[in-house]
């Protein structure tokens, strides 16, 4: 039996995803700063950013709704947020999810680092040569921008 569509859950996930879309903008602007200075845009940059936010928000809304509909049909969900919305205890949900989440998260993190260092970086250096060092030296977003961008990666990409 499928559950009815949870509009509160949808709104929370959609707003969190939209926050992620907005939070990544300073990081992307820093990464593209050299290009943006030499590029003549057909519309002002603030208007382009507003369009980007609206577009990302609409796409996230559609994908979040679709994800919730499909999740309900196959028994998946967001158990911690759902328990919180239903005013149930979330501690049991966290205790059940936390150990496997930590193990899988650490395993995935180590795997990503190993692949990056031993597979992807050598291939990039082989293909791009010294130009890769020039790119990374000239463009270094501050830590706060990386922190904000992580919300897009941690929320927006998971919703998509």
pLDDT digits 0-9 by tens, 19-76: 999 999 999 999 888 788 888 889 999 999 999 999 999 999 999 999 999 988 888 8
64: DSSP letter:
H
Confidence band for 2, pLDDT divided at 50, 70 and 90: low
What pLDDT, on a 0 to 100 scale, did the predictor assign at position 136? 55
Which segment of 3-7, 10-14, 78-82 scores lowest on mean pLDDT?
Answer: 3-7
Question: What pTM was computed for the model?
Answer: 0.79
Q: How far apart are CA 127 and CA 138, in angstroms?
A: 19
What pLDDT, on a 0 to 100 scale, did the predictor assign at position 33? 83
């Amino acid at each position: 039996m499928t559950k009815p569509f949870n509009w509160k859950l949808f709104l929370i996930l959609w707003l969190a995803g939209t926050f992620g879309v907005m939070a990544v903008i300073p990081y992307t602007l820093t990464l593209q700063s050299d290009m943006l200075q030499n590029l003549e845009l057909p519309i002002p940059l603030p208007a382009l950013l507003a369009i980007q936010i609206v577009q990302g928000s609409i796409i996230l809304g559609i994908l979040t709704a679709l994800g919730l509909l499909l999740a309900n049909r196959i028994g998946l969900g967001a158990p911690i947020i759902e328990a919180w919305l239903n005013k149930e205890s979330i501690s049991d949900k966290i205790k059940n999810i936390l150990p496997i989440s930590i193990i899988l998260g650490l395993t995935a993190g180590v795997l990503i680092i190993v692949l990056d260092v031993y597979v992807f970086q050598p291939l990039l250096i082989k293909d791009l040569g010294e130009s890769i060092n020039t790119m990374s030296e000239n463009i270094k977003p501050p830590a706060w921008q990386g922190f904000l961008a992580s919300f897009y990666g941690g929320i927006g990409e998971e919703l998509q």
